[in-house]
Amino acid sequence: MAKRNIKFNLDFSNKDILPKFNIKQFDNALITISTYLEGNVFNPTGNTCKLYVSVGNEVFLQESNISVLENTIKIDLDKNIISEGGKGLGELELSDINGILTSATFLFNIDSKIGEGSTIPGQVEGFIAKHERLIKEFKEEYNSRLEIIQTELNTNTNRIDQVESKNEEQDSRLLDIEEKNKVQDVYIQGLFNENKDGRLSIEGEGNSLKLEGSKEGLVIIDKIVGNTLVNVEIQSDNQFQYKAHEAFTGYTVVANKPSGYIEGMQSTFENCKVTQEMVDSGEESIENLGKYKCEVEVRTKNLLGLQDVTQTLDLTGSLSPQSGVSKGSIIYKNVDVSSFKGQYILSGDLSLDNNKYNLKVICHNIENTRNTHNDSYNYLIQKNGGKEFNINTTIDLTNYKYITITTGNIVPLESKIYTVKVSKLQLEEGTQVTSYEPYYYSTKTVYLNSPLHKTDEIVYIDGELKHYHKMGSYLLSHNDDIRMYDNNLSNCNRYGLAMTGYKFKSNGEGCCDKIPYIQNNSDDIFHVRLDGTKPYGALTFWLPKEYGSTVDELKTYMKNNNIEYNLILELAEPYYETIDTDRLLLEIPNNATVSVKSVAPVQSMAASYTNGIPNVYGLQETNQVQDDLINISLLATDEMYTMLEPILESIPQVINNERTMSKMVDMYVAMVIRGLKTIEDVPARYRKEVQDILNKLEK
């Protein structure tokens, strides 16, 4: 008997919503399906194919008379499948020896045969022609109305885009106003004089603000808007040497990664999450609620804290003129390089393991202040108990405890007392001799939007701290489209979940909080893994049989027992996320006076260190410059006065604190209405007036 040939294309990555073909009840049909995957020709050979068909409330399965060929599947359709008229839903399922590979569905119509219980009443051809005409008219009317609707949608979309564009322009203008208002927002902590009376020297000149103090140690500058700390200039009175370097350029950032994991996942880091209780107690600020607190180290390549060593060598009793001495030892404090901690190395303990660190010491400058014949000196750096090395030579410190600075052959002429100064010592990792950089080390607290997962990093790139995301999370629950792969195993049932749309790396690393993650393992044991052989990368998991014998029973068990599996999986495309932080740290030499200068608009930050400036301070008027800026550009700031309020309350009033507020109030009202600020973000001195205006607008 002749068979009806039905041919169509089927893409295993798409879901069809229109019928592929029509077929009569009980027809003999040979179906030829050309297979595709994501638009490309798909070769299913080597796999077993099953056909499931759902018609009404019945489901049929055909396993025989199916041929899997190159790029084609042929099915000699079982007539019993199309014994009932109506809509048919077919599903092709491909599988190999390991289980289900993939599946695809298609729709088709089963036309009832006249005389088989579905006879069309009277005048059959006329009835069909009438309804075909009505359907055609409906489609024409539908398409016409659809074009009108689409035109209206496009018009409205353009209008919305225009409104959004204007909103963005307004937002940009308001943000620019606020940015320029913060030109002189310089917050300083720890900058007080030695008398600890809290007084600062504030001087105004042109568009600049200058603050001076003399406390030893570290000065922390919390925020300088529009400033990247381009240059730091250091001046030393006794050496008359200048050194300028670009801040943070060569700095290393080290994050306190979690020390322990739960099945390879973060555990201790979760304890660093900022909670509502921390905010309520004042321990943390509201803007960090829900974020993850992390301490990072900021340091230069130079790990040696002591920079200058001076030693006096008295040869009066041992040498006569024109004689000589070999290798007069000058030892500076026996720097212990076996532990790397304390006042010399402040960045923590480092093990002198050859496989991890090849440390070196570079002496960039040795200066003799008394001898007029400097060319007769050959200064050396010597390992305790080892051979001598010339200046700028790499020294392997692995097997030695101390560093010793020695002189070479000394030929004294006029004087027998010599002062030798060794400066710019550098201890760093690596094997290459590099240029000298001053020692710098500090710690910093940052807040992350998501935890540091396994293998994630905190890095310093392009002048910014960034969270390098290598892993992503997925929560597996009873709501997922779980499928049964194999229920014939002895210990577990094997289930699967297609990860279509998720950018996880096939065969990548992973971990789970409740199931062991064992990659490349198909044993009949309790575990989970990503299967890279599947077209999209399927999540495959083996669960105990007591969880259920079917997918429905498994989902019910998971729901009733509140079982969810939190998976951390390696991303196919890692990405960087900038950490919002603007604290800048500068180290100030001991017994120095620092002058911090912020010029409007701020493009750079300069700090000069000098000795011998008297610790006497007074306040001078500075806000005339600010008043001029407000009157001319409407863009000046009042934030500086918030910083100075505690000081102004405790000393005689010498700064004129009166100024016109209406322009600033109007700006903050606009920013609150536009959603750029909340009322809590408005400075206190404007907040009440801003709130009053907002209340009137609401009425």
Comparing 697 with 270, the larger pLDDT belongs to 697
Q: Which of 2-11, 123-132, 239-248, 352-361 has the highest mean pLDDT?
A: 2-11
State what percent of residues in the chain have pLDDT above 70.
43
pLDDT tier at 218, thresholds 50, 70, 90? very low
Indicate if the pLDDT at residue 183 is higher than 80. no
DSSP structure string for 441-475:
EEEEEEEESS---TT-EEEEETTEEEEEEEEEEEE
pLDDT score at 559: 92
Helix axes 684-698, 639-650, angle to 10 degrees: 130
Contact present, 456 and 444 (Cβ < 8 Å): no
What one-letter code names the amino acid at 353?
A: D
| Average pLDDT score over residue span 197-212 | 37
Domain range 4-111, CATH architecture:
Sandwich (2.60)
pLDDT tier at 521, thresholds 50, 70, 90? confident
pLDDT score at 157: 67
pLDDT tier at 533, thresholds 50, 70, 90? low
1-15, 38-52, 625-639: least confident range:
625-639
pLDDT score at 545: 92
Local structure of 546: helix, strand or coil? helix
Write the burial class of residue 366 (CB in 10 Å: 0-12 exposed, 13-18 middle, 19+ buried): buried
pTM tops 0.75: no
| Average pLDDT score over residue span 266-292 | 77
* Number of residues assigned to the chain: 699
| Average pLDDT score over residue span 538-545 | 88
CA atoms of 267 and 293, how far apart (whole Å): 14
What token pair was written down for 484? 């049964």
Indicate if the pLDDT at residue 685 is higher than 70. yes
| Owner of token pair 């396993």 | 63
Contact present, 242 and 661 (Cβ < 8 Å): no
Comparing 600 with 117, the larger pLDDT belongs to 117
Comparing 231 with 114, the larger pLDDT belongs to 114
Comparing 607 with 574, the larger pLDDT belongs to 574
pLDDT tier at 148, thresholds 50, 70, 90? confident
pLDDT tier at 144, thresholds 50, 70, 90? confident
pLDDT score at 561: 92
pLDDT score at 126: 57
pLDDT tier at 558, thresholds 50, 70, 90? very high
| Average pLDDT score over residue span 483-493 | 90
| Owner of token pair 């097997």 | 399
What token pair was written down for 356? 């991890």
CA atoms of 118 and 24, how far apart (whole Å): 12
Instruction: Please count the other Cβ atoms lying within 10 Å of the Cβ belonging to residue 682.
Output: 22
Instruction: Please count the other Cβ atoms lying within 10 Å of the Cβ belonging to residue 45.
Output: 11
For residue range 222-243, what is the model confidence (pLDDT) as tens digits? 333 332 222 223 333 322 222 2
Indicate if the pLDDT at residue 553 is higher than 90. yes
| Average pLDDT score over residue span 77-87 | 86
Alpha helices in 31-182 (DSSP H): 124-181
What token pair was written down for 240? 């008359």
What token pair was written down for 608? 């000069």
| Average pLDDT score over residue span 455-473 | 76
pLDDT tier at 550, thresholds 50, 70, 90? very high
| Average pLDDT score over residue span 103-120 | 72
pLDDT score at 455: 74
122-131, 291-300, 453-462: least confident range:
122-131
pLDDT score at 73: 92
Write the burial class of residue 75 (CB in 10 Å: 0-12 exposed, 13-18 middle, 19+ buried): buried
| Average pLDDT score over residue span 502-511 | 78
Indicate if the pLDDT at residue 289 is higher than 70. yes
CA atoms of 407 and 380, how far apart (whole Å): 6
Write the burial class of residue 646 (CB in 10 Å: 0-12 exposed, 13-18 middle, 19+ buried): exposed
Indicate if the pLDDT at residue 292 is higher than 70. yes
Secondary structure element (H or E) that encloses residue 557, with its range: helix 551-560
State what percent of residues in the chain have pLDDT above 90.
6
| Average pLDDT score over residue span 54-68 | 88
